[in-house]
Amino acid sequence: MKMTPFQRNVLTFGPLTLGATILCAMTYPAYLDSEREHTDLAAKKKEYQEITQKMSERDRLDNLKRTLEGDINSLRNSVPKAPYLDLLMLDLERMAGESKVNILALEQPEKASGPSETNDLEELMKPIKPNQSKVLPQLKPFVAPTPTASNAKPAEAPNPLGLKQVTKRLFVTGEYQDLIAFVKHLETYQRVISLKDLSVAIAAGDNTASKNAAAERAQKLKLTKPVMSFLLNVYYLP
């Protein structure tokens, strides 16, 4: 029997087509796995780059933190050029936390009509002034004063120390032993400070209690624990 061209083509290319189909069926899952692995690899590379960037950023921030801590320590170990009240507040909060007391307020003290309570610089300058011997008064020719404006302020005396101070009134509350621990922390504070006009009081039920800053604040807030108040003088060298 003579075969037709179609039959010959089927016999010739049929096995090849069947083999190619079987080969594709067997390799297609592997191709899908390869594509999935390439996708996962690209995602892992992207995550690795992000993690590397975050680690380098963290190292940069750590170095910056160490530099700032060094600068802060250098400021604390010397008389600063400015009051740096924000830094002072952070230190006060740290010492209050270690002493288990609570800071109620850090306020500008009220100006009293009598002698100033914040003239510590004048007291500091007294020991360094040279002893002046008494001399006889000398007659000087009269010189007419030059006219000045009515609102002109007199010139301030020069300060040989070059120091300036900022005074704040601090209110804290806590147990007596904790208040004492807080004062001891202030005694060992790195910066040059001084305490003045210290008072401790509790809220009284009547109006016969002594009137001071601590008593008034304790009575106002109705606190059960003692309240301590004092003037905090912070010195700086501009």
| Superfamily classification of domain 79-112+160-238 | Ribosomal protein S6/Translation elongation factor EF1B (3.30.70.60)
| Segments making up each domain of the chain, as ranges | 7-77, 79-112+160-238
Total length of the chain: 238
- The b/e string for 173-198 (b: 16+ C-beta within 10 A; e otherwise) is bbeeebbebbbebbeeeebeebeebe
pLDDT digits (tens, 9 = 90+) for 42-80: 889 999 999 999 999 999 999 999 998 887 777 666 677
Amino acid at 89: M
Reported pTM: 0.53
pLDDT digits (tens, 9 = 90+) for 82-139: 888 888 899 999 999 999 999 999 999 887 544 444 456 656 555 545 454 444 444 3
DSSP-assigned beta bridge partners for residue 164: 236
CB atoms within 10 A of CB 120: 17
